[in-house]
């Protein structure tokens, strides 16, 4: 019966409610903390406070820029959180709970202690409980215990939250809710069962660790050196010291990575894609193999019966009545049973069901004990012909001929054995073939073509007949689809299985455990694997894949373990997810080159200043101007631009391959200009004039780095580079800007010398870039 409304209200008042917050994203406080409380914000904040003491304010502009950038990062992540949370509500599981004697779908958070929750195939167990009744109920607890075999459940047995139903139906009474439930305790102790590894984030963390260790000794030496040189003017020493440390900090790199991910979430949200783990956007972009379940992915979820072929010569009436009873016996019929119910549901003609065995993906059939109108009680089976018929049976050839046309074929058979007989599926009597038509998704062919063009191998893995699966795949022009493999013939050896799975394209009669093994086999060969699916038989493979993609209409368990949920059930949205991931990875790699080039040249100039015992060339205002025009503003545009380049592995190596030589070139050329200018100029204005010349050289070199990173050019990219050049030119010619930024070129010889050195450095940068591209191409080819 379940609880009454009064009992529910009483339990809610006592706090006995399933109040575990089901967040799809970080809390607002966590977002603010992550953007504000960083090691580099602490460094920049301290330096900003020092500059506020020694003045002038224009040397503290870097602090205002960091504040603005942090604010932008927080706002973008909050926008992404809002989009994620809204989608999560749509995709949230709503279990069937009995209230006041009637079943009602409720949010998980409204379940209270002692609620009676109904279960069917594919349902996730959302709280702990005790089985109240069971009809062939089988629960998979592998996500919690690691044991792969489903467990049969009977009244009085315990159920753990986080497990899911693979067969049968039943109901259970909630005994532990909220943070007392088993899955909630696991989540608090160890987080989610699996988290997507982000090469991008881990790579940036490694880079920032390297930068921190490089900064510390150089900054200490710089502080001591500048104080020693300017012991009569400590304020000037502090300003020069701050001017040397600030450029070493790649403060915007983390920000732009977060913004790029956040914008990706928002864009995918508009396509009804729920990204349950942010790095999954990146992960799918790195995928080189995608495993597709046929039903619900390549084909529409619904089916229709097109033919009923009697095999025992008695006509279609008796098989139709038996089919009606078999389908009606399952309270939550799958697509095939629903099609049979739609076709024959009104033809029971006095037949009754005494007991039933629900369909299981592992055994490939269902069964029921039926009472016919003449008083006979017999057992009927409905399942895969090649499972219920012996090899070589002529009726199997007839079923195969139909399957080769892309039709789903089921065999209706009769036996005298009981449902608990382990040999139930042997020596049965074939009665009829049930033929069902599967409608191919209109967008499936275009999606598969996109993957082929992008170098992503597609593998169709189905529990259906290999012939039927191959015919569907061939209709979609999937390469090698005309040679499907029956998974029952796959070798047991892991190495041999990996070889077979890597070579073939279409697989039929795959069990849930085999799907998981096939994903693992591909991963063992170095492939990054995505798995798509919507049924309970896909859960294990989805969990083990590098990226799991579930359909919105899929089972609760499927959506729970997937990193990406296509709430619109639109298989064609996958290319958009891949493209978004490529945009994020490609653009963050681009802008990382800008930030780390600056870090390398700042550290190098700091070292050279200490070695030569000269004043640091730049004040903080100069560093702010250069960073804003050659990195900050361009990076925001480049980070959000379209980018369809295929994601490459080894993020750190890829970035440092160019950033390191370009930073060395920029630092060496700038310091050379500075020394030449110091030697040329004399008097009290010598340092200021030398600083202006060095700033010109560094800007021109940094602008050339930007011009390289912005390739291939489009109108807006060319305009972006030109606008940055024009902005710097304005600083050099507008008097009040000259004064504000303390920049004034003196004479003609040194400014032209500075420009000439920058031109030589630009030629060296071009050579470094070409070498980097060649190395990147060779690395991609080797992979």
Which residues are tagged catalytic? Answer: 293
Question: What is the number of alpha carbons within 13 Å of residue 291 lying toward its C-beta?
Answer: 35
Strands 116-119 and 164-176: antiparallel
Q: What are phi and psi of 312, to 5 degrees?
A: -105, 5
> Shortest CA distance to 48 belongs to which of 249, 254, 242?
242
**Cis ω for the linkage preceding 335 (within 30 of 0):** no
Pairing mode, strands 299-310 and 429-440 = antiparallel
Residue 566 near residue 552, CB atoms below 8 Å: yes
List Cβ neighbours of 592 (8 Å cut-off, separation of 6 or more): 204, 207, 253, 651, 655, 659
Residues whose CB falls within 8 Å of the CB of residue 233, separated by 6 or more in sequence, listed in order: none
Alpha carbons 122 and 236: distance in angstroms, whole number: 70
Assess contact for 204 and 254: CB atoms under 8 A. yes
Helices (H), 618-713: 620-627, 633-639, 651-680, 686-709
Task: Kindly provide the b/e burial profile for residues 199-221, where b requires at least 16 CB atoms within 10 angstroms of the residue's own CB.
Answer: bbbebbeebbeebeebbeebbeb
Torsion on CA atoms 663, 665, 666, 671, rounded to nearest 10: 120
Type and span of the H or E element at 169? strand 164-176
CB atoms within 10 A of CB 711: 10
What are 515's two structure tokens? 């799907």
545-581 b/e (C-beta count within 10 Å ≥ 16 → b) = bbbbbbbbebbbbbbbbbbbbbbebbbbbbbbbbbbb
How many other C-beta atoms lie within 10 A of the C-beta of residue 697? 28
Among 501, 444, 482, 511, which residue's Cα sits nearest to residue 289?
A: 501
The encoded tokens of residue 79 equal: 């926008």
Determine the 3-state secondary structure of 467 from DSSP.
helix
Q: In sequence order, what are the residues at sequence separation of 6 or more whose Cβ sits closer than 8 angstroms to the Cβ of residue 169?
A: 118, 119, 120, 121, 134, 135, 136, 137, 330, 331, 332, 358
Measured CA to CA, the distance from residue 180 to residue 54 in angstroms comes to 57
Cβ 687 vs Cβ 240: under 8 Å: no
| Two structure tokens written together for 152 | 């049969």
Q: Nearest 5°: CA angle at 369, between 366 and 371?
A: 140
**What is the crossing angle of helices 251-270 and 199-229, to 10°?**
150
CA distance 285 to 453: 14
Q: How far is CA 665 from the centre of its chain?
A: 37
Q: Which residue, 687, 651, 642, 694, is CA-closest to 671?
A: 694
Distance, CA of 77 to chain centre: 17
Based on C-alpha coordinates, what's the Rg of the chain? Answer: 33
Pairing of strands 547-551, 564-566: parallel
Contact call for residues 51 and 519 (beta carbons, < 8 A):
no
């Amino acid at each position: 019966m379940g609880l009454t409304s009064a009992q529910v209200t009483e339990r809610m008042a006592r706090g006995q409610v399933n109040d575990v917050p089901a967040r799809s994203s970080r809390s607002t406080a966590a977002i603010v903390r992550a953007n504000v409380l960083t090691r580099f914000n602490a460094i920049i904040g301290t330096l900003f406070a020092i500059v506020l003491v020694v003045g002038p304010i224009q040397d503290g502009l870097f602090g205002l820029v960091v504040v603005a950038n942090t604010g932008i990062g927080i706002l973008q992540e909050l926008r992404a959180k809002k989009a994620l949370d809204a989608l999560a509500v749509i995709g949230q599981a709503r279990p069937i709970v009995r209230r006041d004697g009637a079943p009602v779908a409720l949010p998980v958070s409204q379940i209270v202690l002692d609620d009676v929750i109904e279960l069917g195939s594919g349902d996730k167990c959302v709280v702990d409980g005790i089985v109240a009744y069971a009809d062939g109920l089988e629960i998979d607890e592998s996500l919690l215990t690691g044991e792969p075999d489903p467990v049969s459940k009977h009244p009085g047995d315990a159920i753990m939250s986080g497990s899911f139903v693979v067969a049968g139906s039943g109901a259970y009474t909630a005994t532990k809710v909220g943070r007392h439930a088993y899955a909630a305790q696991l989540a608090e102790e160890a987080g989610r069962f699996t988290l997507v590894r982000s090469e991008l984030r881990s790579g940036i963390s490694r880079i920032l660790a390297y930068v921190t260790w490089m900064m510390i000794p150089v900054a200490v030496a710089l502080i001591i050196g500048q104080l020693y040189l300017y012991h009569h003017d400590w304020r000037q020493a502090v300003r020069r010291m701050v001017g040397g440390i600030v450029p070493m900090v790649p403060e915007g790199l983390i920000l732009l990575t977060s913004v790029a991910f956040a914008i990706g979430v928002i864009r995918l949200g508009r396509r009804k894609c729920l990204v349950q783990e942010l790095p999954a956007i990146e992960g799918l972009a790195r995928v080189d193999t995608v495993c597709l379940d046929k039903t619900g992915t390549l084909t529409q979820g619904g089916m229709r019966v097109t033919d009923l072929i009697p095999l025992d010569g008695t006509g279609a009436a008796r098989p139709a009545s038996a089919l009606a009873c078999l389908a009606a016996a399952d309270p939550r019929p799958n697509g095939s049973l629903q099609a049979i119910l739609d076709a024959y549901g009104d033809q029971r003609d006095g037949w009754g069901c005494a007991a039933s065995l629900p369909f299981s993906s592992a055994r490939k059939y269902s069964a029921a004990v039926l009472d016919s109108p003449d008083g006979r009680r017999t057992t009927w089976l409905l399942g895969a012909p090649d499972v219920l018929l012996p090899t070589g049976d002529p009726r199997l050839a007839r079923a195969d001929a139909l399957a080769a046309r892309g039709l789903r074929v089921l065999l209706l058979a009769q036996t005298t054995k009981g449902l608990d007989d382990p040999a139930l599926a042997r020596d049965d009597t074939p009665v009829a073939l049930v033929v069902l038509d599967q409608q191919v998704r209109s967008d499936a062919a275009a999606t598969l073509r996109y993957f082929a063009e992008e170098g992503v191998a597609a593998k169709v893995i189905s529990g259906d007949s290999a012939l039927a699966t191959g015919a569907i795949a061939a209709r979609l022009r999937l390469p090698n689809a005309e040679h499907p493999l029956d998974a029952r013939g796959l070798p047991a050896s892991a190495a041999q299985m990996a070889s077979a799975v890597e070579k073939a394209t279409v697989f039929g009669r795959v069990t849930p455990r085999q799907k998981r093994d096939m994903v693992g086999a591909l991963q063992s060969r170095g492939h990054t694997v995505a798995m798509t699916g919507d049924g309970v038989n896909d859960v294990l493979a989805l969990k083990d894949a590098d990226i799991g993609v579930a359909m919105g209409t899929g089972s609760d368990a499927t959506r729970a373990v997937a990193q990406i949920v296509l709430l619109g059930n639109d298989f064609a949205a996958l290319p958009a997810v891949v493209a978004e991931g490529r945009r994020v990875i490609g653009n963050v790699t681009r802008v990382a080159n800008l930030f780390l080039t600056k870090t390398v040249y700042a550290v190098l100039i700091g070292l050279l200043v200490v070695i030569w015992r000269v004043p640091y060339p730049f004040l903080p205002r100069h560093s702010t101007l250069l960073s804003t025009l050659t990195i900050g503003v361009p990076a925001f545009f480049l980070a959000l631009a379209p980018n369809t380049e295929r994601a490459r592995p080894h993020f750190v190596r890829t970035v440092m391959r160019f950033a390191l030589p370009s930073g060395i070139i920029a630092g060496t050329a700038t310091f050379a200009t500075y020394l030449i200018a110091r030697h040329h100029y004399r008097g009290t204005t010598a340092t200021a004039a030398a600083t202006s010349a060095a700033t010109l050289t560094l800007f021109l070199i940094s602008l050339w780095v930007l011009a390289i990173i912005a390739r291939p050019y489009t109108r807006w990219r060319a305009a972006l580079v030109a606008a940055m050049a024009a902005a710097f030119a304005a600083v050099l010619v507008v008097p009040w800007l000259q004064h504000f930024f303390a920049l004034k070129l003196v004479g003609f010889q040194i400014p032209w010398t500075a420009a000439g050195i920058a031109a030589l450095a630009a030629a060296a940068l071009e050579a470094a870039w070409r070498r980097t591209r060649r190395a990147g191409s060779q690395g991609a080819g080797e992979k």
